């Protein structure tokens, strides 16, 4: 299992009756399952799997080469996809493997922050590729023997926007609990949503894009009695979102007998080119900023066409979203998890200054978050 972490200095525990200044990012960690899928091999499997389509599959195969992806990671071997599987089996695999990845990300994140399991005061857990009741955070509490008084907030349904919106919710919770350590978790096992009998174009495109992964981030709200050391790292200074009207059919899942059927519109890149810029500017304006005030954009790479559209909107030339492109290349589209991998890679590269994290997902919704570096 591949995993890594970025860390910042630790801070003190939950302290009531103090004023909050900033929400700080203490550590970020990522994790992927052990099975690596190479895009060329996936394409050949798809050709054999869909050979009954005849010429139709040959017409769609270029999507694999054009996806901008070299490798992805899966919690099941590639041969698993060749047989039909029911919803119950898929969700059982989701629960088993999601908890393994969440444990790895949690432990690495805490190690990076120099903290212990008992130091966690709250958990915000985001996922949209499986169902869990009791929720994943409750199951993780049992698995890791966490404190019984941890505040829990499971979130379902944010899709690809969940990495940004979930991190924003975690920051809001941290502000409401000054000094508490809030653990943000996100896991998606999108590969398990593949439906063998679905001959739609969207299903084929999903096989060319989706990967599995998890990520964790640890947050704390600085207080008026915090030390200079506690104020290192990156500060979450603002967040926001925008949901387009009459857009529920642009992206999401369809619940079918054999699992979750992928739904996304081919018009997403066009919508981003036409309308994302004004939505971004509106968010920045409410924060007292303009695009020229932003040093870096950390965008969820839904696919190469989406990244191209975002680069056109941002207006700084091809290559401005190099971390988004490199994460897409190395891990594929892991839905909500992907943008946290982009953040992790940005921090690994020593990224500073002011950054905007952004992602779009079902709703159809754009999420935004501003990070101010030291």
Nearest residue to 366 (alpha-carbon basis) of 155, 158, 127, 216: 158
69 pLDDT exceeds 60?
Answer: yes
Q: What is the total residue count of the chain?
A: 374
48 pLDDT exceeds 90?
Answer: no
pLDDT at 177: 93
Distance, CA of 21 to CA of 42 (rounded, Å): 49
The pairing of strands 122-126 and 151-155 is parallel
**Helix, strand, coil shares, percent, the chain, to 5:** 45, 25, 30
Distance, CA of 171 to CA of 21 (rounded, Å): 12
**pLDDT tens by residue, 73-96:** 999 998 888 888 888 999 999 999
Which of the four pLDDT bands, split at 50, 70 and 90, describes residue 7? very low
365 pLDDT exceeds 70?
Answer: yes
Query: 99 and 140 in contact (C-beta within 8 Å)?
Result: yes
190 an active-site residue?
A: no
pLDDT at 46: 78
Average pLDDT over residues 177-206: 86
Distance, CA of 208 to CA of 328 (rounded, Å): 11
pLDDT at 6: 52
Distance, CA of 145 to CA of 231 (rounded, Å): 30
Comparing 61-75, 135-149, 167-181, 304-318, the range with the smallest average pLDDT is 304-318
pLDDT at 232: 58
pLDDT at 97: 97
Long-range contacts of 87-90 (CB under 8 A, 24+ apart): 87/256, 87/257, 87/258, 87/259, 90/130, 90/192, 90/193, 90/258, 90/259
- Residue from 75, 125, 160, 299 carrying the catalytic annotation: 160
Structural domains of the chain, ranges and CATH numbers in brackets: 2-35+73-230 (3.40.47.10), 232-372 (3.40.47.10)
Tokens of 369: 């978050």
166 by Cβ neighbours in 10 Å (0-12 / 13-18 / 19+) ranks as buried
What are the counts of helices (DSSP H) followed by strands (DSSP E) for the chain? 12, 14
SS3 176: helix
SS3 259: strand
CA 51 to each of CA 58, 62, 197: distance values in angstroms, whole numbers, following the listed order: 9, 15, 13
Average pLDDT over residues 200-207: 78
pLDDT at 8: 40
Distance, CA of 239 to CA of 369 (rounded, Å): 4
What lies within 8 Å, CB to CB, of 246 at 6+ separation is none
**pLDDT tens by residue, 267-307:** 888 899 999 999 999 999 999 999 999 999 999 998 888 99
Distance, CA of 242 to CA of 285 (rounded, Å): 14
Using CA atoms in the order 20, 346, 333, 280, what is the torsion angle rounded to 10 degrees? 60
CA 330 to each of CA 40, 127, 157, 326: distance values in angstroms, whole numbers, following the listed order: 13, 21, 25, 6
**pLDDT tens by residue, 93-144:** 999 999 999 999 999 999 999 999 999 999 999 999 999 999 999 999 999 9
14 pLDDT exceeds 70?
Answer: no
Render 54-113 in DSSP notation, one character per residue.
THHHHHHTHHHHTT--SEEEESS-GGGGGS---HHHHHHHHHHHHHHHHHHHHHHHHHHH
Residue reference for tokens 């939505």: 279
Distance, CA of 291 to CA of 289 (rounded, Å): 7
% pLDDT > 70, the chain? 89
Average pLDDT of the chain is 86
Higher confidence at residue 245 or residue 267? 245
Tokens of 72: 């992805």
């Amino acid at each position: 299992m591949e995993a890594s972490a970025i860390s910042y200095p630790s801070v003190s525990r939950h302290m009531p009756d103090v004023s909050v200044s900033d929400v700080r990012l203490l550590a970020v960690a990522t994790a992927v399952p052990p099975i690596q899928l190479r895009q060329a091999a996936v394409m050949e499997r798809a050709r054999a799997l869909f050979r009954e389509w005849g010429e139709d599959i040959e017409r769609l195969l270029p999507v694999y080469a054009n996806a901008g992806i070299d490798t992805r990671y899966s919690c099941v071997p590639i041969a698993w996809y060749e047989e039909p599987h029911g919803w119950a089996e898929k969700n059982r695999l989701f629960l088993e493997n999601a908890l393994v990845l969440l444990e790895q990300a949690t432990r690495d994140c805490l190690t990076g922050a120099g903290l212990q399991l008992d130091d966690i005061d709250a958990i915000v857990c985001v996922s949209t590729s499986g169902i869990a009741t009791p929720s994943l955070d409750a199951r993780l509490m049992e698995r890791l023997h966490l404190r019984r008084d941890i505040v829990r907030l499971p979130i379902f349904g944010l899709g690809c926007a969940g990495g940004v919106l979930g991190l924003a919710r975690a920051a809001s919770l941290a502000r409401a609990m000054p000094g508490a350590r809030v653990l943000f978790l996100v896991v998606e096992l999108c590969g398990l949503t593949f439906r063998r009998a679905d001959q739609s174009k969207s299903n084929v495109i999903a096989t060319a894009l989706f990967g599995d992964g998890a990520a964790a981030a640890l947050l704390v709200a600085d207080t008026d009695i915090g030390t200079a050391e506690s104020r290192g790292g990156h500060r979450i200074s603002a967040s926001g979102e925008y949901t387009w009207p009459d857009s529920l059919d642009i992206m999401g899942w369809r619940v079918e007998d054999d699992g979750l059927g992928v739904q996304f519109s081919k018009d997403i890149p066009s919508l981003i080119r036409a309308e994302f810029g004004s939505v971004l500017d509106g968010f920045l304006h409410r924060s007292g900023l303009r695009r020229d005030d932003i040093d870096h954009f950390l965008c969820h790479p839904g696919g190469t066409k989406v990244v191209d559209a975002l680069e056109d909107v941002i207006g700084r030339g091809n290559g401005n979203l190099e971390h988004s492109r490199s994460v897409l290349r190395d891990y594929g589209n892991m839905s909500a998890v992907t943008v946290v991998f982009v953040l992790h890679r940005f921090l690994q590269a020593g990224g500073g200054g002011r950054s905007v994290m952004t992602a779009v997902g079902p709703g159809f919704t754009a999420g935004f978050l501003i990070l101010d570096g030291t």
